Amino acid sequence: MATVSYSAKEIDCKIVYAGPGLSGKTTNVKYIHGQVASDSRGKLISLAAGND
């Protein structure tokens, strides 16, 4: 679910992917993050699952 702050003109969202290891989940999220203008995006946090 996304949180919208009209006063700050921000949309805060969390993307969660589930699936087997090596199926492209992290690659997909990195691509989406890279398509957003650098001055409009936050830090990408990717947690290592240990089996990917």
**Mean pLDDT, the chain cut into blocks of 10 residues (52 residues total):** 90 84 89 92 80 52
User: How far is 48 from 41, CA to CA, in rounded Å?
Assistant: 21
**Which residue range forms the structural domain that includes residue 22?**
1-52
Asked if 35 and 24 count as a contact pair (C-beta separation under 8 A), the reply is: no
User: How far is 48 from 13, CA to CA, in rounded Å?
Assistant: 20
In total, how many domains does the chain have?
1
State whether residue 28 is helix, strand or coil. helix
The predicted structure's pLDDT at residue 45: 85
What six digits make up the tokens of 9?
């003109």
DSSP string across 3-24: EEETTTTEEE--------TTSS
